[in-house]
């Protein structure tokens, strides 16, 4: 059971917008920055968003992040079939003093 | 270009050991915290361990404490994970990842190496 809660799956059509939710607590999301990762099984995970809403170099502005209280959200606009992957949120937990990840959300682009 | 290449995975019996390696290139290895993250079959990502750039600080997830050891050789730009007393639940793909310390995010990852614990 992950400390960060993500819905197991989400789907949308090409060109549409989709959001991913990540719910935590005061000891993790509530007091630390959130990162988001894209992962196609068998490949290296990729950092999409760090410090809640910042994009690393090379990540298109179709990807966005936000945080409010103990929840965080990843948004993707202009969906492409290549966006099909698992998406994970991650942050530091100040009580456990460990990194924690959500269980991941599988995106299907219909 | 930052590259992280893991090796050393394989099939091992319960109670056995392996040494995982991660060869780093494209950045000043000694300046970065490094980490191991794993993904068990059908499961999500799980942080396993991390180590400071100078090797003087290490942290582990509770489930591997006393069984796994993380180390590094900055001269060889290599990260290691010694995994002992392996259990079936340690079966996973193990990823090497670089930590961007200020944001505590994993900004570069390797492709992973598979560890299978089975008799």
Per-residue pLDDT of B91-117, as tens digits, reads 999 999 999 988 889 999 999 999 999
Q: Is the pLDDT of residue B13 over 80?
A: yes
pLDDT of residue A2: 81
Q: How many residues does chain A have?
A: 110
Q: Smallest CA–CA separation between A25 and chain B, in Å?
A: 17
Instruction: Check residue B104 and give its pLDDT.
Output: 86
Bridge-based pairing of strands A46-49 and A105-109 is unpaired
Determine whether the interchain pair A88/B107 forms a contact, defined as Cβ–Cβ distance below 8 Å: no
Q: Which two tokens stand for residue A27?
A: 């000891």
Nearest CA in chain B to A44: B111
Q: What is the pLDDT of residues B41-60, one digit of tens each?
A: 999 999 999 999 999 999 99
For position B46, what pLDDT does the model report? 94
CA distance linking residue A58 with residue A6, whole number of Å:
25
Taking 90 as the threshold, does the pLDDT of residue A96 lie above it? no
Distances (CA, A) of B10 to A23, B6, B13, B89: 35, 12, 10, 15
CA–CA dist B106, A88 (Å, integer):
12
CA distances from A20 to A12, B9, B20, B43, B86 (A): 12, 33, 33, 18, 35
Chain A residue whose CA is closest to B107: A47
Contact yes or no for A104/A6 (Cβ under 8 A):
yes
A1 pLDDT higher than 80: no
CB within 8 Å of A21: residues ≥ 6 apart: A6, A7, A71, A72, A73
A103 inside 8 A of chain B by CB: yes
- The span from the CA of A47 to the CA of A29, in Å, is 17
Whether A1 has its CB under 8 Å from any CB of chain B: the answer is no
Task: Write the pLDDT tens digit of every residue in B14-32.
Answer: 999 999 999 999 999 999 9
**What are the pLDDT digits (tens) for A45-84?**
999 999 999 999 999 999 999 999 999 999 999 999 999 9
Contact (CB<8Å) A44/B106: no
Per-residue confidence at A3, pLDDT binned at 50, 70, 90? confident
pLDDT (tens digit per residue) in B72-98: 999 999 999 999 999 999 999 999 999
Query: A8-48 pLDDT, tens per residue?
Result: 999 999 999 999 999 999 999 999 999 999 999 889 999 99
Which site among A74, A95, A98, A103 would you substitute to test the B interface, given the most B Cβ atoms closer than 10 Å to its Cβ? A98
What does the pLDDT read at residue B103? 83
pLDDT for res B114:
97
pLDDT of residue B66: 96
Residue A98 has pLDDT above 90, yes or no: no
């Amino acid at each position: 059971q992950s400390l960060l809660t993500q819905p197991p799956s989400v789907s949308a059509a090409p060109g549409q917008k989709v959001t991913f939710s990540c719910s935590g607590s005061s000891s993790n999301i509530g007091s630390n920055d959130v990162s988001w990762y894209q992962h196609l099984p068998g490949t290296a995970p990729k950092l999409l968003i760090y410090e809640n809403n910042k994009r690393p170099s090379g990540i298109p502005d179709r990807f966005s992040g936000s945080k409010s209280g103990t929840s965080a959200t990843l948004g993707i606009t202009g969906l492409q079939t290549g966006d099909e992957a698992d998406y994970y949120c991650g942050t530091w937990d100040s009580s456990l003093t460990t990194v924690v990840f959500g269980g991941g959300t599988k995106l299907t682009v219909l | 270009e930052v590259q992280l290449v893991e090796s050393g995975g394989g099939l091992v019996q319960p109670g056995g050991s392996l040494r995982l390696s991660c060869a780093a290139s494209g950045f000043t290895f000694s300046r970065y915290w490094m980490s191991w993250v794993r993904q068990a079959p059908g499961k999500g990502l799980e942080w396993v361990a991390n180590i400071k750039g100078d090797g003087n600080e290490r942290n582990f997830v509770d489930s591997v404490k006393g069984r796994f050891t993380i180390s590094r050789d900055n001269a060889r730009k290599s990260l290691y994970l010694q995994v002992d007393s392996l259990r079936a639940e340690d079966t996973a793909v193990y990823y090497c990842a670089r930590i961007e310390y200020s944001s505590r995010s994993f900004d570069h990852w390797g492709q992973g190496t598979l560890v299978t614990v089975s008799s």
